[in-house]
Amino acid sequence: MSELFASPINASTRYCAVYGHPIKHSASPAMQNAGLAALGLNWRYLALEVRPEELRPALLGAKAMQFVGLNLTVPHKLLAMDMVDVLDESAKHWGAVNTVRFEGRDKSGTWLPLHQFTETPPDKIRSQGFNTDADAITRSLREDLGVELRGARVLVLGAGGAGRVAALKLAAENVGELFLINRTPSKAGSVAAEVRRRHLDVKVHVEYPRGEVDLTINATSLGLAVEDPLPLDAKQFSLRQTQAVYDMIYRPSETPLLRAAKVAGCRIANGLGMLLYQGAKAQEIWSGQPAPVEIMRAALKKNVYGL
Ligand code: ATR
């Protein structure tokens, strides 16, 4: 599919962006720009390398330049909780921000998406943080792996922003048992405590499972770089113990973890579906229109697989 832009960049073009570190692997610009063009919006979506120590000024910069909105990826999703002006219920509930919408206050005191101010400028601008990852995770797990989550035993690798949301969302879907593993064990411990506090029925362990699990999810950044080790300790857990493996990483499209899981006979899926659904929802939050999901999916597949 060729990338058709609604119009050339001009003085009215509005901007969105994803901030991350690293960001070069991101397929979001291909996906989002295809969607924005299909909606006929004179907007562009950029990918910007932002170091965590510069997240705050980078957020202020986008606000000052009246961007429409932002996506945030590794390692910004938790940090941004304290940096946006207001938090939507979704960000409060899941404890991480992956989508920001810039909003302006009109004469009557109502906050509206900033792109709606075409003639009169707003008298004040604010940033609002949302989370669109949680629903995207479980939708992709169901569609791409056919996992029955209710009652399932699930191993989650990683307890950063993505791992935390995954664990909490799985608990909300009534999985039976969760096993949480993280390089920094205290972070897995605090996610476990949060899950226990909210979901009394879910058994949570901060250790590798003994016996079989239905699903293993990689929510660490291990696998992004070719030299990365596997995100799990093969001495403590064999991939033969899991039916299915989901890697939130989508580039490379087959991480060493997914390759090893395939050899072990597991069903596997990468994070493309999660990226698609979180991105489509983010676009809806910015534009107020339904996102052209199939166009975005095709652009994503072309970008990642060259299809
Ligand atoms: P995100 O918002 O995408 O989850 P993050 O909050 O920075 O990003 O989380 C990154 C995850 O990858 C964390 O679980 C992190 O482990 P720590 O909590 O110990 O930092 C994990 N991770 C990153 N680099 C790692 C490495 N070299 N080895 C093991 N785990 C790593």
Instruction: Report pLDDT for 1.
Output: 44
| Over residues 68-85, mean pLDDT | 96
User: For residue 226, what pLDDT is reported?
Assistant: 86
Tell me the three state secondary structure of residue 14.
Answer: strand
Closest Cα partner for 157 from 134, 179, 190, 132? 179
CA of 44 to the centre of ligand 1 (A): 30
Average pLDDT, the chain: 95
Best residue for ligand 1 mutational test, from 221, 224, 232 (most atoms within 8 Å of Cβ): 221
Between CA 174 and CA 178 the distance in angstroms is 10
What is the arithmetic mean of pLDDT over 43-69?
98
- Active site amino acids: 77
Give the H or E element holding residue 154: strand 153-157
Q: Which pair of structure tokens corresponds to residue 126?
A: 């604010």
What is the rounded distance in angstroms from the CA atom of residue 219 to the CA atom of residue 231? 9
Whole-number Å distance between alpha carbons of 297 and 183: 33
69 Cβ inside 6 Å of ligand 1: no
77: phi then psi, degrees, rounded to nearest 5: -65, -35
Closest residue by CA, ligand 1 atom 9: 160
Q: How confident is the model at residue 119 (pLDDT cuts 50, 70, 90)?
A: confident
Q: How confident is the model at residue 2 (pLDDT cuts 50, 70, 90)?
A: very low
Distance 237 CA to ligand 1 centre (A): 19
Dist. CA 121 → ligand 1 center (Å):
41
Check pocket membership of 182 for ligand 1, CB cut-off 6 A.
yes
221 lines ligand 1 (CB under 6 A): yes
pLDDT above 70: residue 4: no
Ramachandran bin of 278, using left for φ above 0, alpha for ψ from -120 to 50, beta for the remaining angles = alpha
Which pLDDT score is estimated for 286?
98
Please name each of the domains of the chain with its CATH number. Answer: 2-131 (3.40.50.10860), 135-273 (3.40.50.720)
CA dihedral 167, 253, 215, 239 (to 10 degrees): -120
pLDDT of 247 > 70? The answer is yes
Q: Residue 6: what pLDDT? A: 58
- What is the reported pLDDT for 276? 98
Q: Is the CB of 248 under 6 A from ligand 1?
A: no
What is each CA distance from 205 to 178, 195, 231, 237, 248, in whole angstroms? 6, 10, 18, 14, 21
The residues, ordered by sequence, that sit 6+ positions from 225 with a Cβ below 8 Å of its Cβ are: none
Mean pLDDT of 83-95: 97
Amino acid at residue number 285: I
